[in-house]
Amino acid sequence: MNRKRKSRGRRGDGSVFRRKDGRWVARVCVTLLDGKQKRTERYAATREQALQELEAMRTIVRQRSVSVGRMTLREFLQNWMEAIELAPATRQSYRLSIDNYIIPDLGHYYLSQLTAFEVSRWMASLKERTVERKGKSTKIGARTRQIALSVLRAAAKGAIEMGATGYDFTAGVRRPSMPRPTIIPFTVEEVQRILASVRNDRLYALFVMSFFCGLRQGELFALQWKDINWDDKTISVTRQRSEVAGVIHEREPKTTAGKRTIGLSEICLDALHERRQLAVREKQAANPWVFIGERGKPLRRSNFGNRMWKPLLKTLGLAHRGLHHARHTTATLALKAQTPVHLVSSMLGHTLASTTIDLYGHAQTGDHEITAEAVAKAIRGQSGVKTG
């Protein structure tokens, strides 16, 4: 019969004991900053080896406790950014907020010093601060402050998960408010004018897909021929493209809803067929992307906007709006045509139908009349009450 033999030290120093199967165990229990206990064990063949493992774990615990206690927010952010996985565009956004707003103001604080009060004071100071942009002095906008706070919240959560702090120092800090951006969809007449103007352009199909399918610009630029199902008259949205610091990146949509199948109308199919025939004539039939530059290179958001979209709207005398407003136009027209919200939401790739309603509720202008009539009809039918 084997008895457990334990080598005990001071509380928290850990212990060594032998299991019934003959193996030796080195165990250390650590109290995290949030008060929870975490037990770590290592196995060894002999007691001497187990004692060596125990000493190694004790060293790690001591080093960790010292480093955490003396870690500044700047030091943590540098390590955290190296450890987390982010899409290129998101990483660039995080880095801008960290380098321009978080580290300059809060980077010198030890994690143990940061509180919601300090973070709130920081947000208030950002609101009053001005920055130089294109030779002009402007105040830091609400959206910039929102992003900075979101990055700091994510960092606080990461610090808790990594055991660098035991509390969320952003908890209770109010998110800066800002008015929702005004959505200005194109009118039917404006859409017709735009499409007529680009009818003979090599990228005509891109404009058609923008207004008829509700795709995001990054989804359009990443569309490949293999994504088109000619027989079912559908396209599969499986990737999107972004441009960060001049470098093009492609990745899967952020959400499951973003991966979706969209039906194609005849005008879309005809435009895509023409685009395919043109690709053959341009000797680009082997190029996997549907929409490419004249030399077969991927389309860039900045080039397309500055060289084609903006000049087009200016020539037609239309108020400037980004290509994203073509997507807004699709959603608005679909809802005005009484298309069920869940179908519009699915087409747009929204995770929740409530997002679609929140963004485009203004398009359902006649719904209150339809609802009122439905209620009146139901009451008349069930009780015989005259409603007028």
| CATH class, 73-161 region | mainly alpha
Average of per-residue pLDDT values in the chain: 84
| Better pLDDT: 299 or 225 | 225
By CB neighbour count within 10 A (0-12 exposed, 13-18 middle, 19+ buried), where does 193 fall? middle
What is the distance between the alpha carbons of residues 388 and 385, in angstroms, rounded to a whole number? 9
Of the listed ranges 158-162, 208-212, 317-321, 383-387, the one predicted with least confidence: 383-387
Helices (runs of H) and strands (runs of E) counted in the chain: 16, 11
| Whole-number pLDDT of residue 244 | 73
Superfamily of domain 188-363: Intergrase catalytic core (1.10.443.10)
Q: What is the mean pLDDT of residues 2-13?
A: 46
Pair of tokens at residue 327: 């997507």
| Whole-number pLDDT of residue 11 | 41
| Whole-number pLDDT of residue 275 | 96
pLDDT digits (tens, 9 = 90+) for 163-221: 788 889 999 999 998 877 778 889 999 999 999 999 999 999 999 999 999 899 999 99
Q: For the chain, which residues make up each domain, given as ranges? A: 7-69, 73-161, 188-363
Mapping DSSP to helix (H, G, I), strand (E, B) and coil, where does residue 61 land? helix
| Whole-number pLDDT of residue 387 | 43
Pair of tokens at residue 32: 């995290």
Residue 379's CB is within 10 A of a number of other CB atoms, namely 13
pLDDT at 86 over 90: no
Of the listed ranges 58-67, 146-155, 340-349, the one predicted with least confidence: 58-67
| Whole-number pLDDT of residue 1 | 41
Q: Tokens 């407003």 map to which residue? A: 325
Q: What is the mean pLDDT of residues 121-129?
A: 93
pTM for the full model?
0.65
pLDDT digits (tens, 9 = 90+) for 288-321: 999 998 888 888 888 899 999 999 999 999 998 9
CATH number for the segment(s) 7-69:
3.30.160
Decide if 33 contacts 111 (C-beta within 8 A).
no
Q: What is the mean pLDDT of residues 351-371?
A: 69
- Give pairs for 301-306: CB < 8 Å, separation 24+: 301/217, 301/218, 301/221, 301/242, 301/243, 302/243
| Whole-number pLDDT of residue 61 | 63
Pair of tokens at residue 258: 């973003």
CA 174 to chain centre: 21
| Whole-number pLDDT of residue 234 | 92
| Whole-number pLDDT of residue 62 | 58
DSSP 101: I
pLDDT at 69 over 90: no
Helix H or strand E segment including 268: helix 266-281
Percent of the chain with pLDDT strictly greater than 90: 45
Q: How confident is the model at residue 335 (pLDDT cuts 50, 70, 90)?
A: confident
* Domain 7-69 matches domain 188-363 at the CATH topology level: no
